[in-house]
Chain A
Amino acid sequence: MTLQVTDLRVYYRTLAGDVRALDGVTFDLADGEIMGLAGESGCGKSTLGNSLVRIDGRMKYVAGTVRLDGLELPIADMDRMDEFRFKDISIIPQYAMSALNPTRKIGRMVADLLESRGVRFGEMRTELERRLLLVGLTEAVLDRYPIELSGGMKQRMVMVLSTLLNPSLLIADEITSALDVTSQRAVAETLVEFRARGFVKGMIVITHDVSILYQVADTLTIMYAGKLAEKAPTSVIMQKALHPYTDLLISSLPEVGVRFDERRLSGIPGTPPSLLNPPPGCRFRDRCPLAFEKCAEEPPFVEVAPDHSVACWKVA
């Protein structure tokens, strides 16, 4: 087992109170698994990804444990996490591409990062060049500034960099969202390739684009309002999703071949609840076509079939 997350709760402190963005999340990631994480904007995907790597001053660790390769990570302790970051667990943050320092050449940036981890750039240079070639880049990119690279090139560069020390776990947060379809495909396929070559063992791929996840993920996890709604192998989610939210989410996606004039798809009416003072019970209750009295209590996230967990009273 690569990763075990148990009842993780991380909130944001605000003047109005705590935003309960990650409110009791439990799941396992098997050795070699690519887990896709999807859900509406604001449901807590990035908060989950970031919490496994860096709980910063705006965030508040409330409860839960994270074990990586059998070892409990000191996630609540920014300083002690330092020895794991980048080496054992690496994240490509959402908007990483636009956050690159525009005044520093790519090579300089790589060297800085490696040296901050106590690794000499010279030692890694050959391996770095080998991996750049693998993603269709040459060492010439090291002499360029971020602005001189296209979005797809930047993302491939960031992928190579964040996996250079062969971490156990890579978290990739919305790395395809700002790209056109051609670059999306190249970037997504690189993820699979990196696993095949053993650069990383497990991955959490975060995106709101379920069709990308269908292409690359072994399992899909659907999040709703700070909690997990469902996790199962990708093919199971696509064909026999059990949670009503998963079902509505997937049927709202325009597939190639579906035309407005022939079959009008529908969205999910309503909006998610505020995470500042979320209502008790199932957080999807307001919008759920199947809601009944029992849903005033919170449904537990339980395994209903092997590798298939759901949080819904109608299912459990």
Chain B
Amino acid sequence: MLQLDGVSKVYRVGAFGGTGLTAVRDVSFTVRAGEVVSLIGESGSGKSTIGKMILRLIGVTSGSITFDGTDIARLDGDSLRAYYRSVQGVFQDPFSSYNPVFKVDHIFDLLRGTYFRDAGDADWRRKVEESLESVMLDPAQILHKYPHQLSGGQLQRLLVARALLLDTRFLVADEIISMLDASTRIDVLNLLGDLKGRGLGILFITHDLSLGNYISEKTVILSRGRIVEMGATGRVYGNPLHPYTRALMGSVPQLHRKWSEVEADLAAKGANVAGRCIYHAQHGTDGGPVAPDGVATGLVEAEADHFVGCFRPYLEGAC
């Protein structure tokens, strides 16, 4: 359904945009219908940049993003509007998506003005109510309220409801859980699970691996704009290969295991790969595309449905 092919993004920074900052580097992956792919990495690793390129809020510097076989860079006018009927985004801070002056209904009215000019009042009302019910909100309790009268979880689900009003088939969910507290987190996660059951493709962006593990079939680990590891979620979590992935896993606060226990466990698991770059071991020392700083950007298949990239710069010395 959605495919990224060798996508890179260079931001112009500095006075007069004199220098370039490579935020995303040679990234390729696919998201199929009915699949949740989690995109995981530290702050600044390029997650949101990828989300924004998919939503065409910013352009790609090189490479291509295709949706149902069409390069999205070529869309305009009607075809772009059609794209946005299918592809929608929800972002981290639910509060900032609302104007405090208006009742929450306003976000639906805006949508109606753009996409549903022909819908009659009764029709429109029914559509809104259906979408609210599909995210487990009671329309009577939610509509006609001001943003400050609702909880973060309710506001967040309301944004998902709005995204679903269109014939959404693909959703970019960028850190939509981190602002929510524990008891509402699980509701929003389950909602994503139900949506994938209905055939939506979802890109779930997060820095918290336990959330990604709960909901996704596929995991992509991003470090400094580059994919360092990717594959079936069970494989990546069960057998993390890249030093970066392991460090990330070691930092996730778990509920019944202390950091020190997790670390010991990871060290034991990693003993077989310690100090050896799997990418270069498989590829030979000169294989694959190389970025200007000497790090190879490609991936090799370490086991079925489990890919890993060069261990640099997390490995001392040469590969």
Shortest distance from the beta carbon of A297 to any chain B beta carbon, whole Å: 25
Listed residue (A41, A184, A212, A249) with the most chain B CB atoms within 10 angstroms of its CB: A41
Given known A-B contacts A151-B43, A184-B251, A254 and B183 have beta carbons under 8 A apart: no
Contacts of A134-149 to chain B: CB distance below 8 A:
none
Is A63 in the interface zone, CB < 8 Å from B?
no
Is B209 in the interface zone, CB < 8 Å from A?
yes
Q: Chain A: interface residue count, which band?
A: 35 or more
Give the distance in Å from the alpha carbon of A271 to the alpha carbon of B253 in the complex.
27
Q: Which residues of A contact B180 (CB under 8 A)?
A: 41
Give the distance in Å from the alpha carbon of A257 to the alpha carbon of B233 in the complex.
10
Q: Which residue of A lies closest to B215 (CB)?
A: A260
Q: Report which of A182, A215, A238 forms a contact with B247, defined as CB distance below 8 A.
A: A182
* Contact yes or no, A238 B256, CB < 8 A: yes
* Contact yes or no, B183 A268, CB < 8 A: yes
Shortest distance from the beta carbon of B80 to any chain A beta carbon, whole Å: 33
Scoring B residues 184 to 228 as 1 if CB is less than 8 Å from chain A, else 0, what string do you get? 111101100100000000000001111101110000000000000
Contacts of B136-162 to chain A: CB distance below 8 A:
151-152
Q: Which residue of B lies closest to A151 (CB)?
A: B43
Q: Which residues of B contact A259 (CB under 8 A)?
A: 213-214, 233
Is A214 in the interface zone, CB < 8 Å from B?
yes
Q: Report which of A38, A150, A215, A252 forms a contact with B186, defined as CB distance below 8 A.
A: A252
Given known A-B contacts A183-B43, A252-B183, A254-B186, A188 and B210 have beta carbons under 8 A apart: no
Is B181 in the interface zone, CB < 8 Å from A?
yes
Q: Which residues of A contact B248 (CB under 8 A)?
A: 181-182
Query: How would you classify the secondary structure of chain B's contact residues: helix, strand, loop or mixed?
Result: helix
Give the distance in Å from the alpha carbon of A42 to the alpha carbon of B184 in the complex.
13
Q: Report which of A41, A256, A267 forms a contact with B209, defined as CB distance below 8 A.
A: A256
Give the distance in Å from the alpha carbon of A254 to the alpha carbon of B206 in the complex.
14
Q: Which residues of A contact B102 (CB under 8 A)?
A: none
Q: Which residues of A contact B247 (CB under 8 A)?
A: 182
Q: Which residue of A lies closest to B180 (CB)?
A: A41
Q: Which residues of B contact A41 (CB under 8 A)?
A: 151-152, 180-181, 184
Shortest distance from the beta carbon of B23 to any chain A beta carbon, whole Å: 16
Q: Which residue of A lies closest to B254 (CB)?
A: A256
Is B182 in the interface zone, CB < 8 Å from A?
yes
Contacts of A194-245 to chain B: CB distance below 8 A:
208-212, 214-215, 238
Give the distance in Å from the alpha carbon of A181 to the alpha carbon of B43 in the complex.
9
* Contact yes or no, A267 B254, CB < 8 A: no
Given known A-B contacts A41-B151, A182-B248, A208-B181, A255 and B190 have beta carbons under 8 A apart: no
Shortest distance from the beta carbon of B291 to any chain A beta carbon, whole Å: 23
Shortest distance from the beta carbon of A264 to any chain B beta carbon, whole Å: 6
Is B81 in the interface zone, CB < 8 Å from A?
no
Give the distance in Å from the alpha carbon of A185 to the alpha carbon of B253 in the complex.
7
* Contact yes or no, B258 A215, CB < 8 A: yes
* Contact yes or no, B186 A253, CB < 8 A: yes
Is A250 in the interface zone, CB < 8 Å from B?
yes
Is B259 in the interface zone, CB < 8 Å from A?
yes
Q: Report which of B207, B251, B254 forms a contact with A255, defined as CB distance below 8 A.
A: B254
Q: Which residue of B lies closest to A258 (CB)?
A: B214
Q: Which residue of A lies closest to B181 (CB)?
A: A208
Q: Which residue of B lies closest to A265 (CB)?
A: B186
Is B67 in the interface zone, CB < 8 Å from A?
no
Is B5 in the interface zone, CB < 8 Å from A?
no
* Contact yes or no, A188 B182, CB < 8 A: no
Shortest distance from the beta carbon of A204 to any chain B beta carbon, whole Å: 18
Given known A-B contacts A41-B152, A181-B209, A255 and B189 have beta carbons under 8 A apart: no
Q: Which residue of B lies closest to A188 (CB)?
A: B253
Q: Which residue of A lies closest to B214 (CB)?
A: A254
Q: Which residues of B contact A150 (CB under 8 A)?
A: 43-44
Q: Which residues of A contact B21 (CB under 8 A)?
A: none
Q: Which residues of A contact B209 (CB under 8 A)?
A: 181, 256
Is B252 in the interface zone, CB < 8 Å from A?
yes
Shortest distance from the beta carbon of A157 to any chain B beta carbon, whole Å: 17
Shortest distance from the beta carbon of B243 to any chain A beta carbon, whole Å: 13
* Contact yes or no, B184 A267, CB < 8 A: yes
Is B29 in the interface zone, CB < 8 Å from A?
no
Q: Which residues of A contact B183 (CB under 8 A)?
A: 40, 248-249, 252, 267-268
Give the distance in Å from the alpha carbon of A57 to the alpha carbon of B193 in the complex.
45
Is B42 in the interface zone, CB < 8 Å from A?
yes
Listed residue (B186, B189, B190, B215) with the most chain A CB atoms within 10 angstroms of its CB: B186
- What are 14 A-B pairs at a CB distance below 8 A? A179-B43, A181-B248, A181-B253, A182-B248, A214-B256, A238-B255, A249-B183, A254-B210, A254-B213, A256-B213, A256-B254, A259-B233, A264-B193, A267-B183
**A interface residues (Cβ-Cβ under 8 A, vs B):** 38, 40-42, 150-151, 177, 179-185, 188-189, 208-212, 214-215, 238, 248-250, 252-261, 264-268, 271
Q: In the complex, given contacts A41-B184, A254-B213, A265-B190, what are 20 additional A-B residue pairs having Cβ atoms less than 8 angstroms apart?
A: A38-B182, A40-B182, A40-B184, A41-B151, A41-B180, A42-B151, A150-B44, A151-B43, A179-B43, A185-B253, A189-B259, A210-B182, A212-B253, A238-B256, A253-B185, A253-B186, A254-B210, A256-B210, A260-B215, A261-B193
